[in-house]
A = this chain, B = another copy of it.
């Protein structure tokens, strides 16, 4: 009974991403939490907090036990957290109460859940980093291939000046290079162990508390923050904001593609575009539209995550629940958007003829700036601009060509139109950066 389209059997392929979703499945969550409980016991055994035999038994069991997610549902609804039910179920499964009593020794629910989440996010972000790398590389090749392909740059939807398709692509790619660098800075923050005990003082572990935390971090390959951080939500907030920022950049690609595939513009063709239930001709830019939608939705979810940073006192159930409601969806959408962007980019081909047609349409008004600078070599620039503006008006009124009108009035002028300026070199520069 899906609350999320990503969980729907009908819509899953449109909105979900298997690799990311796998890490947010109920079983993956339970698996990660059991792993943390097992490692916690091992470390506590090594440090003498609990008997080593119990520790060994718990750790081994933590790898082997299967817990049915739905068996935790009723008690989770009462307690607000699944850990009491999980610990009870695990203890029962262990069938060794003399050892099982040492499970979850001195930890609190949030320790186990968030350390488990850290493990899963480490893997999730690793997958995404690879995808980002591949996407940037694909964009780099596309930019290089079309570094010199002329097209009309548009501001406010209006033809502005000539540019190249490669330069447009490089404008898609640059933010991704930076998002990737930001992710690299974020990842270690996310890969942080949480161990604070009931309310952040680790008091049930006695003086060994910090050593347990350090040992657990080491055992799991996470970093030890050196203190409890249950109520410090800035890291997950920054991660959410990063996702929203990435999604906005991917959504921008989607928006551009929707505009460029418009009937009458036709500058981009997408393989495998979507069909209609009633219009045989339709080739809808479904992928780009999904990118835009995921971006808008994710920006809203990320604002919920940031708001959850107002986390009261040592633990704020309401703020924490907001994260649970928002984060998995946000991550799965991010995973989907990355995979889909790669797929969309791979399926697109620019139509050089259509680009040329659009560039030359509209009476060549797109060359107005270039012509005004050409003319400004022979008269003051404000005057040149005014003259060209008049000729633009004439061209629109009479339907003529601006360059022709300029030639008529200034027969000796070197028009010098059609320059792509820095567009080709910018495209190549990006390609070079993307290839690293």
Contacts and interface: CB of A to CB of B under 8 A. Distances in A.
Interface in A315-373: 315-322, 324-326, 328-329, 332-333, 358, 361-362, 365-366, 368-370, 372-373
A325 B294 contact: yes
A310 B382 contact: no
A227 B160 contact: no
B78 A365 contact: no
Given A9-B26, A106-B373, A284-B158, A275 B78 contact: yes
Contacts of A430: 227
A75 B381 CA distance: 20
Contacts of A15: 321, 324-325
Interface residues of A, number: 200
A289 B402 CA distance: 27
Interface stretch (A56-64, A231-239, A407-415): A231-239
A300 B304 contact: yes
B163 A84 contact: no
Contact of A325 (B108, B174, B297): B297
A72 B10 contact: yes
Interface stretch (A39-47, A118-126, A134-142, A254-262): A254-262
A145 interface: no
Contacts of A132: none
B290 A321 contact: yes
Given A248-B234, A310-B252, A315 B82 contact: no
Contact of A275 (B72, B84, B299, B322): B84
Given A171-B229, A244-B306, A108 B278 contact: yes
Contacts of A280: 368-369, 372, 385, 388-389, 392
A400 interface: no
B422 A202 contact: yes
Most buried by B among A73, A318, A388: A318
7 contacts: A159-B264, A161-B279, A198-B278, A204-B370, A234-B245, A238-B241, A252-B312
The 3 A-B residue pairs whose C-beta atoms are closest, nearest first, are: A248-B309, A201-B421, A203-B421
